[in-house]
Each structure stands twice: as structure tokens, then as C-alpha cells.
Amino acid sequence: MSKPLSDHDRKKQISVRGLAGVENVADLKKNFNRHLHFTLVKDRNVSTKRDYYFALAHTVRDHLVGRWFRTQQSYYEKDPKRVYYLSLEFYMGRTLQNTMVNLALENACDEAVYQLGLDMEELQEMEEDAGLGNGGLGRLAACFLDSMASLGLAAYGYGIRYEFGIFNQKISSGWQVEEADDWLRYGNPWEKARPEYMHPVHFYGRTEHHPDGVKWVDTQVVLALPYDTPVPGYRNNIVNTMRLWSAKAPCEFSLKDFNVGGYIQAVLDRNLAENISRVLYPNDNFFEGKELRLKQEYFVVAATLQDIIRRFKASKFGSRDIVRTDFSTLPDKVAIQLNDTHPALAIPELMRVLIDEEKLPWEKAWDICIKTCAYTNHTVLPEALERWPIDLFQTLLPRHLEIIYEINRRHLERVSSLYPGDVDRMRRMSLIEEGGQKRVNMAHLCIVGSHAVNGVARIHSDILKATVDLYIHSPEKYFYEMDPHKFQNKTNGITPRRWLVMCNPGLAEVIAERIGEDFIRDLDQLKKLHDFFNDESFIRDIAKVKQENKLKFAVHLEEHYKVKINPNSMFDVQVKRIHEYKRQLLNCLHIITFYNRIKKEPNKQWTPRTIMIGGKAAPGYHTAKMIIRLITAIGEVVNNDPVVGDRLKVIFLENYRVTLAEKAIPAADLSEQISTAGTEASGTGNMKFMLNGALTIGTMDGANVEMAEEAGEGNIFIFGMRVEDVEAMDAKGYNASEFYNRIPELKQAIDQIAGGFFSPKQPDLFKDIVNMLMHHDRFKVFADYEDYIKCQEKVSALYKKPKEWTKKVILNIAGSGKFSSDRTISQYAREIWGVEPTLEKLAAPDDPK
């Protein structure tokens, strides 16, 4: 949705965007003005665009409240097994438009805002992104919440309400500069504080062992204050809850300190406690053993488990309210999903609660813990593996370290009994790593303490359970050999509500005209589009929607980057975190090669491209920051070369985030998914591009493998080494110089980077990148260069045949059904959590008047 509907569009009123009747428009206008006056205390004379956004947000939220009450009341009455999704990240983006789509309010709100003389797109731009995630892991969690509500599961998302989310990225003189993401500076109309459910969280102290049990004493206390955000399902009147915890210092001050004049300092010291929820750590896929991070991880699980147990105990039996005391039934009522190792402390914390507070014997508590918890692994990169130093654990969480030692003792006894005399296996499978500094391996803790362990794409799950890791010998295969029943695959998915209906309404409308609207709830129905593969009018409609999206995005790019874009060029897009394994450098080498070819043969009919790369580099990740600088430097040369003209443009998309993805993905022609085979766990950006009508150029890595199966391998551009090729190259040794000396165009590109062609004022600016590529590139960029360039030639050749290109686009969209997060969550529900949908649909409450 862009500008207010024209009179012509208003008469059309496309069904896919929801026909909340025009009778609602008067009520919406009335409530908008009521909120402007009584909630915001403004009138039209002094109101700003932000005030109007808040008034609209509160008006839309009114339609959630009754549904939210009814949903939670129904869960209490039915007392189902509930799912608790624990994640340190929820990358929600903006909420307003997604809520309007899911409640079928979008058309009525469009009309009301238009009649009020306002611009809907301008109001939406006032909303801050809730950027409480680094990338794929946090965005996956957000998609899962949407699907759990849309499927009617009694589910809750639990995380941290970071005061500052993922940093805002500015590009200054070609360099990334980080700015604080103060997303709460104007308030958040979608959340509701719940101080009545505040819980204490303990740190430090010591343990006392008594005949009647263990006590954790002399602790420092931080309070966890919950903020609830409603999560609406798609047009089923079900509204689930995301609960995020904010750290607050307790109010008690030492009277002694007060008497000696320490009152002011005592108040100021509250900040130390509240720092726990101050900021999201931006180092994704790189482990840093910071005490504050460990505090965050324990803070979220300790508060959440208190909430889970409070809700478990306060139950209903028939028509009576009861207090449930039999914890053996916990796995029948509670499923805890650990989104990566960040919430791993839920395992020892649940054991502590069951043993120390509820006085259960160890064996019974452990059985309950395993049956309740499940673990999702998101990476095979060794540098991402969480290994916490024992001394830090001992200081911060002394009781939990004791419990982990006991878990490990019993675990190794079992390993020893099954594999007697295999000392190496025991060492590799231990929860405690002994070499050098002793550390707790959190992935091993998760595997041992869960009843299910899943990867997030079939190839990733196979790597986890059946092979050794590409860069270090992985012990996961030993865990698989011991407990094969634990290991599963759950290929990731995306919500079609946000990633099609909301961000690409034109495409959703064209699809709905052919196959109806049921695909929004059942994405597998996109297979019906195979019937329209040769339909001339459908081919034209698909191509027209793509061109409209490109024109719109070209305007956005020109406004923000002052670069005039050729909208008829191929929009070639790589957007994801900047990381060596994502291989933005391989993309750079293609850009340079293409540039050199144009310069060599300027009169040849080249397929024009606008190449866009976007993503954030973790602030401490030097190589990633240098990659950004190289991309911008290449752009400075290419974009200002008159010989090249508009046949090649290079744009670095600044501050890539959910909101920018919603603009870029519908406009993309080509999706770059070019990680080294065996390094990307799954990817979800690849799925978003596929669903929105971009063709993929990629390696056989992550979900690309399954995308090729669904669309047909002939309809996706696959290149490069497979996992077995990478392993073979590792075995014999990778020598970058062989490729550099053998391939003239590769040598030319590297020599240009090394010689200062792209940095004439500082010729050695990129020496670190060149040195890395030539001498210690774990991700083997040169090995895939030649095949990548040949594959890009095939892409360019096909793009010159618009009809053939669009046919492949249709086959990709038709094959996207598997990659709905509804499918993923349905599989989690059946195969891991053991739950069925509690509610299929609720009756709508009376809308607020």
C-alpha cells in the first residue's frame, strides 16, 4: 500500500486486502479523533504526523483488545498445553500495517485516513521499527509468532524489551557508523506494562547445602517487569501475547547508607541493575563472553520460568479454579522451545526450581525437564558457539554451575556405560570443556537437556547429526549416534501475511484473481499457479506487478541515494548481515568483472544491472566493516564512469532492516544466496525473494537445496561446490593462488583492489581483504568464482527474454508453498511440542465504538 486510494482504486476495492465495510469508516474517524484529543491531548491545530500515527495506532489497537481478552479467557477455560517460545531476539519491524491486514481493517483505515485529509503512507513512516534482533534468527521468531496465532496455538513469545535495539547504520564517507536505535523515545503504542506480574531475578551470592536441600543466598536482586504486545492471527480473531522483560532495580535502599548520606549514590546505582535490558548485543554469529550478556540470558529465562510455573499452577479443573501441585504433569501442559543456545540456562534453572524450591528428587526433575524442553540449532560456525567460562559462571550463577556439573556427571556416566573405554568420545561430549580455560558448552547442555534437537533446513540437520563440521570436528554426530531419536529437521519458513499480502499487495491481488484467497492461510495452494504457467495474461500481470514495484523502489533509491536508477535494469539484490561466510566479496568480484568487461567492450549489448547490497556489520567485526567500505568504493568508481552509464550501478542499501526489506524484496529480480556450501543453516531471506517473484542465484546451501527441489532445479541458478566438494578441498588443502594465477579476470579484479584502483587516495586501504582472500579465506571465494561468473552470464542471457524469465518466476512462486512458517509451526506442534490448535477461530467481539 502506498498513497491514499484514488477514486478509481476505491471503486475496485480488491478483496485480498480486506473489505472491512465502509460502515466502519465513520467509527474509525470518530475513534481517531477521540484518541487524538483524549489519549494524546492534542487537536488538529498543533498535531504532528507522529501524533496522527499514534492516534491511528491506538484506534487500530482498540480492535485488538476485545479479541485479546477473549483469546486469553478461552485458553484459561480450555487449559490446553501451552507453547513458550524463548528467544533473545524478536525482530518485529513495524506493527500498524500488519495488524490492519490481519484484522481486515486496511481498506476501512485507508478510507478513514483519506477522509481525514491525511496520507496513510506518511503516517506509517512515523512508526519506529522494533529492531530487537540482528537478522534471521530474530525475524524467524517474529514470523513464528504470527503463525502460532494464525493457527490458533496457545503460544507465547518471551524475550527482552531492549531499550536500544540493533544499531542504526549510517554510511559516512563509505564507512559504517553506528548510531543508537532509541526506538522507544516517543513511546510504543502497542505494548502494555504488567507490573502485577513482576518477578525477582537473582544473581551472584553463594550456595548453602543443608539436610533439607540447597539454598542460594546473599544474592543481588533485579526485578523483571513484563511488557505485553498483542500478536493477532490472520482474520481468526485470535490474539496471542509476546511478553518482553525490562530490568528494574528493587526499591529497597540500605538505611545505613541513607544515614551516612549515601542515598543519592544508592539511587544512581539502580542504573547498574537496569543495564541488563538496555541494549541488544549486535554480534550475531560471533560469541563474546561478556558478563552482561550472560546476565541477559539468565534474566530472560528466570523471569519466564517463574511466569510459566505461575500459569501452570493457576489452572482450571472443570468449572473450578485450582492450584496445580503435581509437577509430573508439567510436560503435558508446557512446551519450552529454546531458540538457539541463548536461552539454554532454562534447563539448569528449571532443575533448580524443581529441586530446590519444589523439592522433587533429581531423577524425577530431570525427566520433567527433558520432556518439557526442546532446542533449535541455528548455526554450524564454530565462532558462534556459546562457551561460557567457568569462573564467570561461578561468580554470577553459583547454584547453576553446581547443577550443570551434576548434569554432566550423570551424562558422562551414561556415555561411559554405552561406549566403555572411549575417552576421546567422553571428552568431546562433555558439557565442560577442559582444555585451557574451563568452559561450559551451551550447545551440549541444550542437547542433553532436551527431548528434541532440530536444525532449520534439511542439509543443516544432516550436517548436525551425520557428519563432521567443516572447520572443526563436531561432536554433534556423537550425540546423534547415542540418541538418534532426538534429532529432527524443521525447515524454516516465513509468514505470507507480512511477506506477501502486506509488502506486495499487487502480487497478492494478481494471485487471488486466479486461485482465490485461501493461499494466504494455506500457502501450498500456490501450486495451482502451475495451471497458469502458459497463460499470456497471467504472465503479463506478473511482469507488470514486478515493474510497478521496481519503479516505486527506484523512486525511493533516487530520493535516498541521489543515484538515478534505470528501472528496466535487472535489480540484483544481496541483503543480509555482512559476514565473510555470506560472501558479499564474491558478489564484489562479479561487479568488478562485469565493470571490466563493459570497459573492454563498451559497444556490446550488455544486460543492464542495478546491484544492491545491504546489511549491517557487527561493530567489532573489522573484516565485515572493510567489506562495506569496499562495496561503497566500487560504487563510487562504477557509478561515476560515463562509459558505463546506466548499464551498471552499485548501491549499498544503508540501514537495512525489516521496513527496508519490505520495499526491496518485492522489487528484486535476482536474489543472491551465495554462501559457501555447508555454512548457511537455512536462510529466510531466500524464501522471501522466491515468494515475491525473484529468481535465485545460489549455492547448494541451506534452504536453497529445498527451494531448487520445489521450483525445479532448472528454474533456479545453482553454481559452485557442494558440501562434499568443500570437504574434499579441506582434506587436500585450499590454495587461493592456484585460482588467482589460472583465471585472468579474477587476477585482474584482485590486482585492482590491491593496487588502489578503487581507493586511489589510499592505495593500500584494502590490503587486509586481499591478504585474507589470498592466504586465509575459510570460505573459499576464489574456488567458486569461475562457476559464479558463468552462472551470472546465464542470468543475463535469460533476462533478455522477458517472457521466459517471467515463466520461471511463476514456477518459483508456485513452488514457494513449502516455505510458509505455518507449515514449519505445524510440524513443530505435531512432532516436537505434542500440541493441537486450541482455537481455530473465535467470534469477533463487538468492535469498539
How far apart (Å, rounded) are the C-alpha atoms in residues 622 and 286? 13
Give a three-class secondary structure readout of 765-798.
CCHHHHHHHHHCCCCCHHHHHHHHHHHHHHHHHH
One of 35, 439, 576, 583 is an active-site residue; which one? Answer: 576
Residue 378 among the catalytic residues: yes
Q: Going along 99-167, which residue ranges are E strands?
A: 130-132, 155-160
Q: Report how far residue 219's alpha carbon sits from residue 752's, in angstroms, rounded to the nearest whole number.
A: 59
Calpha distance 527→283 (Å, rounded): 39
Q: Which of 411, 439, 582, 629 is catalytic?
A: 582
Q: What contacts 420, CB < 8 A, 6 or more positions away?
A: none
Greatest CA separation for the chain:
89
Q: Phi/psi of residue 549, each to 5°?
A: -65, -40
Cell for 180? Answer: 543508537
Burial class (CB in 10 A: 0-12, 13-18, 19+), 11: exposed
| Backbone φ, ψ for residue 157 (5° rounding) | -100, 135
Active site residue 582: yes
Q: How far is CA 639 from CA 409, 436, 647, in A?
A: 62, 51, 10
Q: How many CA atoms lie within 13 A of 321 on its CB side?
A: 3
The DSSP code sequence of 610-661 is EEEEE----TT-HHHHHHHHHHHHHHHHHHT-TTTGGGEEEEEETT--HHHH
Of the listed 577, 625, 657, 823, which one is catalytic? 577
Is position 411 annotated as part of the catalytic site? no
Catalytic residue among 378, 425, 460, 808: 378
Q: Within 10 A of 224 (CB to CB), how many other CB atoms are there?
A: 26
767: its cell numbers: 590490503
Catalytic site includes residue 610: no
CA distances to 147, 326, 505 from 351, rounded to whole Å, are 30, 15, 48
Our answer to whether residue 684 is catalytic in this structure is yes
* DSSP strands (E only) in 434-514: 439-441, 452-455, 487-489
CA distances from 842 to 217, 233, 362 (A): 47, 11, 42
- Given the residues 684, 696, 824, 838, the one annotated as active site: 684
The residues that bridge with 321 in the sheet, in sequence order, are 316
Write out the E strands in 406-514: 432-433, 439-441, 452-455, 487-489
The grid cell for 272 is 547498574
Distance, CA of 305 to CA of 349 (rounded, Å): 8
| Residue 139, all three cell numbers | 525475524
For 40, what's the count of Cα atoms within 13 Å in the CB-facing half-sphere? 28
CA distance 203 to 214: 16
DSSP string, 577-614: ---GGGTHHHHHHHHHHHHHHHHHSTTS----EEEEEE
Q: Which of 61, 425, 688, 780 is catalytic?
A: 688
- Catalytic residue list contains 400: no
Question: Where in the sequence numbering do the catalytic residues fall?
Answer: 378, 576-577, 582, 684, 688
